[in-house]
Structure formats: structure tokens, C-alpha cells
Amino acid sequence: MDTKKYVSYMVEETKKILAIDSPSGFTKEVAEYVMGEYRKLGYEPKQTVKGGILVALGGKKKEDAVMLEAHIDTLGAMVSEIKANGNLKVTPIGGMNANNAEAENCRIHTRFGKVYEGTLQLDNASVHVNKDYSDTKREFSSMEVVLDEFVKSAEDTEKLEIGVGDFVCFDPRTTVTEKGFIKSRFLDDKLSVGILLGYAKYLKEEKVEPERMVYQHITVYEEVGHGGAASIPEGVTEVISVDMGCVGDGLKCDERQVSICAKDSHGPYNFDVVTGLITAAKEEGLNYAVDVYPYYGSDADVALTAGYDVRHGLIGAGVYASHGYERSHVEGVENTFRLLCAYLK
């Protein structure tokens, strides 16, 4: 198997997916793109009522199937008020942090298809004018989207057909360095969607039939807490979220590794699944880490909360600066892909 070929495909697909705005609740365009990619690979994806994607990859044992989950929805914001000066107050979607979003370029998608550009700034953002600039706490209540339009009043902005409820999407600023670092907003979890597409490509091109039936579910509401709460096919006994692996103080994982999560904020992952993932990583000689995530929840957690009687696990390429300007590495992608291949062989 030419692993590098598949990793290159995963990174390129990730870049394309990152370029499509898709905060939770505004995922139609990116879902259509990903469904098209599955079709190009020779699969027959189905769209769930929620707007997610479900695809069967094949496998021998259909009564003990496994489902891999990743999400294409991201953090973002929504217009909550048009200010008297024509600028926009916004409310965050998911865990978007105002400290990480300040001075970021964004796009405003109106309800009926128009797109405008702007920047999220602190109110009265000029240091030479605002003596309280440094001391002001960065919260969305003290910030505004400054439109790149000639507006001076709420009426001017309303004439552009911008209104409350329009989606605000932040620029991902994606780049891949010569050393293989992948830097972008929203690697959580579009990087994993790229990895799952690459795994699907590998099965098809190498004519590999896993021991168990494998499904992939690309969810669209993970960042607001209910992405994995539905659409698990009959026969699935195991759900594995392929999401970002945490990198930070107190954890062993770095961006070049695949992270295997033993426990997150919801509790421990299934003992046998975690042990099986660790065993596969060891046998394959992968660069991996086992960690406990202190502030985290996954689609696999949500599946159990929704009442599904399944085993669950969580893996992912190491990602630093989660929910901010994130960083991973092509080696983390490769190790995650190879763990999927080894565990599901």
C-alpha cells in the first residue's frame, strides 16, 4: 500500500472541505461536496434527515458492525442584532471563544443567498482612541462585526438584506508548511473527515474487505451537542469517533501522533475498544499516545446518551490550540489512518 498517496489525498480533501463555510446549522453546501466525493470513490452515500451523511463501506460480518463518525460542522456565529451604527452584534455557535475570534475576517451569509465580508472587532477597536482597549474583557457582548460595506446606520445594513439569524463564518486561514504542519481553524473536525474519505478510498482501491461491516457517519451538529444522537444503522455494535486528539499541558500527545482517548468529560470509553486500539497501535508500530481529555465530548458519547446500546471509542490526530487557530501534522494524519487500517483489518 502506498500510504503517502492516501495521506496526500486526505490533506488535499481537508483543504477543500475547510474552504467551504459550515458552522452548525449551515452545512448543506459542504455536505453536498462530501457526498460527491463518496460517489466519485464508488460509494452510495445517503443523506440523513438532519443533513448528515451515512455511507456503507462494506465488510464481512454485518451483525457486528462498526461505525466511524466525524463531523463537518464547525464553530461560528450568528447575527443577533444590527447596531445603530450599521455593524453587527453576534452570538457564538458552539464553543467559539471571543478571544480567539478577535480581528478575524469573516463572511456573513444572508438568509437568501447574499454573502458579505467583514471583521470581528472589539467595540471601538482603535488603540489611539479607546483608552480601555487593553482592559476590556473579550466577550461577544463587547464585540461587533465591522462590515466591509459603506454603512453608517441600521437602515443602511438592512438595505443589504442582512438580518438577525444570518450566519457568520470565520476565515479558516488554511496552510500546510514545508515541515508538514497543517494550520487552520476548524481542523476540528474537518481533518478527520478528510481521513475518513482517505480510508474509504483505500478500501475501494486496494479491494480490502474488513472483517466487520464498516459504516461512516459524517455528522453536522457535533459542535452543538447532538451530532451523533441518531442514524446508527441496525447491526452496529461499536461506534468510534474520529475527532481531534487533544494536545496541551498534562497530556502526552503531540501533533505527529494519533491520540487514543481513555476518558473525557463524559466518562471512560469502552475498556475493550480502547484496549483493542492500543493493541493495534502497538502491533503496527505507530506513533501514538493514550490520554484523558479534561474538557471534551464526542459524537460517540452522544450516541450512548441517546440510548444506543453500543461500545464506543475515540481517536484522532493530535491538534494543538483547539477551538482557536489549530495545528496538526501530516504524520498525525498518517498514524490515524494506519490505526484505522490495523484496527479494522
Q: Left (φ > 0), alpha (ψ -120 to 50) or beta: where does 124 sit?
A: left
Strands 311-320 and 236-242: parallel
The catalytic residue among 222, 238, 326, 334 is 222
CA angle, 310 then 215 then 8, to 5°: 125
Dihedral sign for Cα 296, 300, 303, 308, please. Answer: negative
Helix (H) or strand (E) holding 173: none
Q: Is 222 a catalytic residue?
A: yes
Residue 222's closest CA among 213, 234, 230?
Answer: 230
Q: How many whole angstroms separate alpha carbon 118 and alpha carbon 116?
A: 7
Cβ–Cβ under 8 Å, residues 137 and 98: no
C-alpha–C-alpha distance, residues 332 and 182, integer Å? 10
Q: Which of the residues are catalytic?
A: 222
